[in-house]
Amino acid sequence: MKLLKRFSLFEIALISAILGIHLYAAFSDAHNFPNSWFSRDDAYYYFKVAQNITQGMGSTFDGINATNGYHPLWMIVCIPVFFLARFDLILPLRIMLMVMAGLNAATAIIIYRLIKNNLSKEVAILAAAYWAFNLYIHSVVYEFGLETPLAGFTIMLAIWKLSQFEKEWRKTTVSNRQIAALALMGVLVMFSRLDLVFLVVMIGLWLVFRRSSIRFLLPLDIIVIFASMTSAVVLRSGIEAYNSYYSGPAVGAAIISLVIKITCLYFFGGFQNPGNRPFWKTVRSAVLGLSTGTVILTVIYLVLERAGLGKSFPRSSFLTDWIICLVFLLALRTAAFWFARGRAGIPDTPLEELKINWKKWLNDGLVYFGIVGGALLLYMAFNRIAFGTAMPVSGQIKRWWGSIISTAYERPAGDWYSFFGIASQGPFNAWKPASETLFHFSKRLQPYFPGADYVDERYYIALAMVAFLATIILAVNSRRAMHKASNLILIPLASGCALQILSYTNTSYGGAKEWYWISEMILVVLTGSLLIHLAIRPILKFKYFRPLLEFTALTLAVLSARSFAHDIRVTMPYNAYPKDQPYMEVLPFLESNTPPGSVIGMTGGGNVGYFIKDRTIVNMDGLINSYEYFKALQNREAPAYLRGHGLEIIFANSQLLLTPPYYGQFEAYLSNFGSYGGKGLYYLLDVPKY
């Protein structure tokens, strides 16, 4: 009873609905799980490795090659669940479905409480129900079987704790223990998905500089400075050449640029509060700081290039970078001036501010980044010792794919929209489900921009209109918007999302997937909640309207839950399949055409590797294979490597193996003896045929 008292009636109803609907799915036909719920091959990379760990085989997908191609915290969650796979392959999947349902419920409750405490109950009901029952969010976050449920939960838990801290730190002395606790929360976020390290860094800057306007400007300046340098190189070279040749040196120059320009901006007064000094001084500080930083950057990079320590790219990029960076830095400071105007207080000079605060900044920075950085270094050291490479090999392989001009797998960002993560379609559309709403809105524009050739144009016009409307709402409510955004931790979250997107789009990363954008989904929900709250705030002043709004929100929540439950019933039916039907149609073919004990290579093979009996599947694309195999694939020695590790048979599309990243290296080693579903079954020969 004490536990129930901690939850409101709405929270109890929400938890009951989420768990009840998922419980229905968990007891449905076994055939549903590999075909309708855990249908992504990547999920079984986790499941099979976790199963092998429980059987004492170590971190391996195939029992042959040691692998680290996964995010560690989700693997820790999977291990005890897939201990049960030795008894029944479907039982762990049923349990895993309920584990993810629990994370869904917990995340929705945190969203509800965060928004209720900072905005309004009515908006909180809508936001929590939207997260719990939106079909796109659920399919990507909770049905793929990947690390996204845990990542979403840890992000929201960190934001919740930071929001509480945000309301307390001005009233009390902040202890090292408090900073350490938030750092440990950041470690959980980082290890739930390693690319969330950028969000963790932005949270650290937000904490360390909490008594300075630096906390508002620095995270956004980092995005502008980094994106400006890489964009300047793309403008001079073209995006195809950038992906193939220039992304490495451009990113290196961008990192150097961050250090130099931020330092110069600080000492020229570029981070002083624009709201309590004349705007012309803010402009002067930005121009002088950025110009000085650009000159120093250009000289340093040219010296490094001449010394053989830096790779060449078009030198005119430095001037282009200065222009782009100046425009966006001035735009940011204009916005900061508007939102912070009229603030009381006499600004210190940069040197005075540094003299007053450097000890506190250093202490807090050492505590927070010492814990986060120490945890990351320990993880990297363990990987280097255990697997021969410091970071997951899967990410290294995808960056290699991105540098190849023509590859069988997904290409890196190929246009400007993708380069900034705002593509209307595909994996570089980082803002679903908001973009789906924009598509619905863009259809209304068809009478004004008719024709099938203008789908993208209508989408981006709709995006511009919504962005303009959001800007108006925020500008009209500038004081309140800034206060609420701070309590919702929107600036670190937004800047962390932007840097995560750039880490893929600006670095020639091939193979981005829709489930990477979990923090962006959370930002969409929180920002949308803030905009709705500001829009309906005048109505909330009338006490008689509040019950009506709350009733409307509850009605919409019930309708969304009902629609969601219907979709789950259709997706996860009962008694729809014969009991003897195989989990996957390919399994009987492989089991009848290969002898027990066979070691079979596949270019994916996650789900087959989990369900196949008395045979071993080896992953050939390298995403869940060893670092040694990755190097062999790069050196076009993969056939000899695999044959030397006991692989006898390959089941793959022969045309796929002719294209990069395989480059036809298997062709001379293959002898066909069967086919199924467009793939051939081959013997892998000891020596090439020619």
End-to-end Cα separation, the chain, in angstroms: 76
What percent of the chain is modeled with pLDDT above 70?
Answer: 98
Return the pLDDT at 346.
52
pLDDT tens-digit series, residues 417-466? 999 999 888 889 999 999 888 888 888 888 877 776 778 888 888 889 99
Q: Which amino acid is residue 303, in one-letter code?
A: V
Return the pLDDT at 1.
53
Using 50, 70 and 90 to split pLDDT, how confident is the model at 206? Answer: very high
| Residue 126: both structure tokens together | 């809508």
Q: Is the peptide bond before 427 cis (omega within 30 degrees of 0)?
A: no
Cα–chain center distance at 90: 29
Reply yes or no on whether the pLDDT at 148 is more than 60: yes
Return the pLDDT at 313.
81
Place of tokens 């902040």: 174
DSSP annotation string for 527-566: HHHHHHHHHHHHHHTSTTHHHHHHHHHHHHHHHHHHHHHH
Using 50, 70 and 90 to split pLDDT, how confident is the model at 505? Answer: very high
pLDDT tens-digit series, residues 588-616? 999 999 999 999 999 989 999 999 999 99
Reply yes or no on whether the pLDDT at 551 is more than 60: yes
More confident residue, 479 or 57: 57
Return the pLDDT at 171.
87
pLDDT tens-digit series, residues 263-306? 999 999 999 888 778 888 889 999 999 999 999 999 998 888 88
pLDDT tens-digit series, residues 15-34? 999 999 999 999 999 999 99
Return the pLDDT at 406.
82
Using 50, 70 and 90 to split pLDDT, how confident is the model at 498? Answer: very high
- Residues with Cβ within 8 Å of 472's Cβ and at least 6 positions away in sequence, in order, are none
Exposed, middle or buried: residue 278 (CB in 10 Å: 0-12, 13-18, 19+)?
Answer: exposed
Q: What's the whole-number mean pLDDT along residues 134-154? A: 96
Strands (E), 25-174: none
Reply yes or no on whether the pLDDT at 3 is more than 90: no
Residue 447, helix vs strand vs coil: coil
Reply yes or no on whether the pLDDT at 656 is more than 90: yes
Return the pLDDT at 273.
85
pLDDT tens-digit series, residues 573-588? 999 888 888 999 999 9
Contact 661, 633 (CB under 8 A): yes
What pairs with residue 675 in β-bridges?
680
Place of tokens 């008694």: 575
Angle at 482 between CA 481 and CA 484, to 5 degrees: 65
Return the pLDDT at 2.
60
Crossing angle for the helix pair 478-487 and 490-505, to the nearest 10 degrees: 70
DSSP state of 246: I
pLDDT tens-digit series, residues 390-413? 999 999 999 999 888 788 888 899
Return the pLDDT at 5.
67
Q: What's the whole-number mean pLDDT along residues 659-676? A: 93
Return the pLDDT at 100.
97
Place of tokens 């003897």: 580
Reply yes or no on whether the pLDDT at 78 is more than 60: yes
Q: Which amino acid is residue 105, in one-letter code?
A: A
DSSP state of 141: I
**Domain range summary for the chain, segments of one domain joined by +:** 1-30+68-166+543-574, 209-347, 405-540, 586-684
Return the pLDDT at 162.
97
What is the C-alpha separation between 353 and 279, in angstroms, rounded?
A: 20
Q: Any idea how long the chain is?
A: 690
Q: Which amino acid is residue 297, in one-letter code?
A: L
Return the pLDDT at 450.
78
Contact 286, 330 (CB under 8 A): yes
DSSP state of 616: E
What are the Cα distances from residue 132, in Å, to 98, 191, 572? 14, 23, 18
| Residue 195: both structure tokens together | 């690319």
Q: Enter the pTM of the model.
A: 0.94
Return the pLDDT at 274.
85
Using 50, 70 and 90 to split pLDDT, how confident is the model at 342? Answer: low
What pairs with residue 682 in β-bridges?
650, 672
Return the pLDDT at 615.
95
Reply yes or no on whether the pLDDT at 308 is more than 80: no
What is the C-alpha separation between 242 and 230, in angstroms, rounded?
A: 9
Q: Is the peptide bond before 350 cis (omega within 30 degrees of 0)?
A: no
Crossing angle for the helix pair 197-208 and 148-168, to the nearest 10 degrees: 0
Residue 635, helix vs strand vs coil: coil
Return the pLDDT at 321.
94
Q: What's the whole-number mean pLDDT along residues 658-679? A: 92
Contact 598, 648 (CB under 8 A): yes
| Residue 261: both structure tokens together | 């320009």
Cα pseudo-dihedral 539, 545, 550, 554, rounded to 10: -110
